[in-house]
Amino acid sequence: MLALLGACGPGPEAVPPPEGGDAPGPVLPLGITSVPAPQDNPPTPEGVALGRWLFYSPLLSSNGRVSCASCHVQSHAFSLDSSLATVGVGGRPLVRHAPALINLAWMDGLFWDGGAKNLESLSLGPITHPDEMGQRDLQALMDRLASTPEAVQRFEAAFGSGGPTLGQMLRALAQFQRTLVSARSRYDLWRRGEPGGELSALEQAGHGLVRTRCTPCHDTELFTDNAYHNNGLDSVWGEGDDETRGRGRITLRPEDTGRYKTPTLRNVARSAPYMHDGRFATLDAVLEHYRRGVVPSSTLDIALRGNSHQAPGVPLSDVEKAALLAFLDTLTDEAFLSDPALGPPGTGP
């Protein structure tokens, strides 16, 4: 523990905000200077506003009662507090847990298996899924939006006249989701040397442990490597394109079976339950899995395989586990979780 504390000094000096522009941009993780966006979908205030309205609108579902926000709740890090949601139009439990939507602009591959390559294609999956929003007839959806005066007004403000189109809808949703930036936690204040950014000795020790024991999976200021790993949850999975096969469902390669996208650790204390199927209710249970519950298999990540002197998993003492739990709590970004600008239209700017 003393060695860990010695390796964790105070955060670096504050980084000045980007120059130019009348309005300040979003607060970004340390070392990141801009929010990336494709050339064919640059963000505009009107496009973001439309995307926000669509994100919270039940009009996108077949029964008119389910929105994106039904499964992605802001106060829960744009995730859901139940393991396998049943709030979709089918009322049936989903196969996978609703992932948190945090810092998506920097994600390479989306969904637990990377089934969407970019934010412009992301929303099409849940909108058409029979147990999520159930909108299989996309033309009927566009007709519904075209007959809704507020929708028409918002689409025209963002993209001009001509009526709502599917492409415009997906681009607007992507623009809004790129604004879901979390970088105002106590950890971030500490890293930037800003007021309110004090970390205790135990929390700093936990930071050191994340950087030594939890990398490369939870690396960089995004706290994810954007890759796919088998972290020892199971030894048997689905076959072919079955959703329980993990990354292998997309690539159809045997070596990708059982691998899932590394989620960010940001706001992790507020996004329970955990793993792709929400099987762990608490962070304590997650760490106990890595300490004692890793299941060996042919695709288990090499960092978890252990050796002749060490069992599979991540060796952690009780003190180290306590330090990790303390640090993970510093990644909670209350400003992000309650920002009116990210909530339903009419609740803030």
Q: Is 68 flagged in the annotation as binding? A: yes
pLDDT (tens digit per residue) in 283-333? 999 999 999 999 999 999 999 998 767 889 999 999 999 999 999 999 999
Q: Is 217 flagged in the annotation as binding? A: yes
Structural domains of the chain in order of their starting residue, each with its CATH number: 45-181+336-342 (1.10.760.10), 186-332 (1.10.760.10)
Structure tokens that stand for 31 in this block: 């070392």
Q: Is 129 flagged in the annotation as binding? A: no
Structure tokens that stand for 1 in this block: 């523990």
SS3 content of the chain, % helix, strand, coil (to 5): 40, 5, 55
- pTM recorded for the entire structure: 0.92
193 Cβ contact partners less than 8 Å away, ≥ 6 residues apart: 10, 11, 12, 13, 14
Q: What is the pLDDT of residue 307?
A: 77
Q: What is the pLDDT of residue 308?
A: 67
Hey, which residues does 310 pair with through a beta bridge? 307
Q: What is the pLDDT of residue 16?
A: 40
Compute the distance between CA of residue 92 and CA of residue 85 in angstroms, rounded to an integer: 8
Q: Is 72 flagged in the annotation as binding? A: yes
Q: Do 230 and 300 form a contact (C-beta atoms < 8 A)? A: yes
Which stretches of the chain drop beneath a pLDDT of 70?
A: 1-24, 308
Judged on CB neighbours under 10 Å (0-12, 13-18, 19+), 288 is: middle
Compute the distance between CA of residue 66 and CA of residue 287 in angstroms, rounded to an integer: 34
Distances (CA, A) of 36 to 97, 103, 108, 180, 224: 27, 11, 12, 13, 17
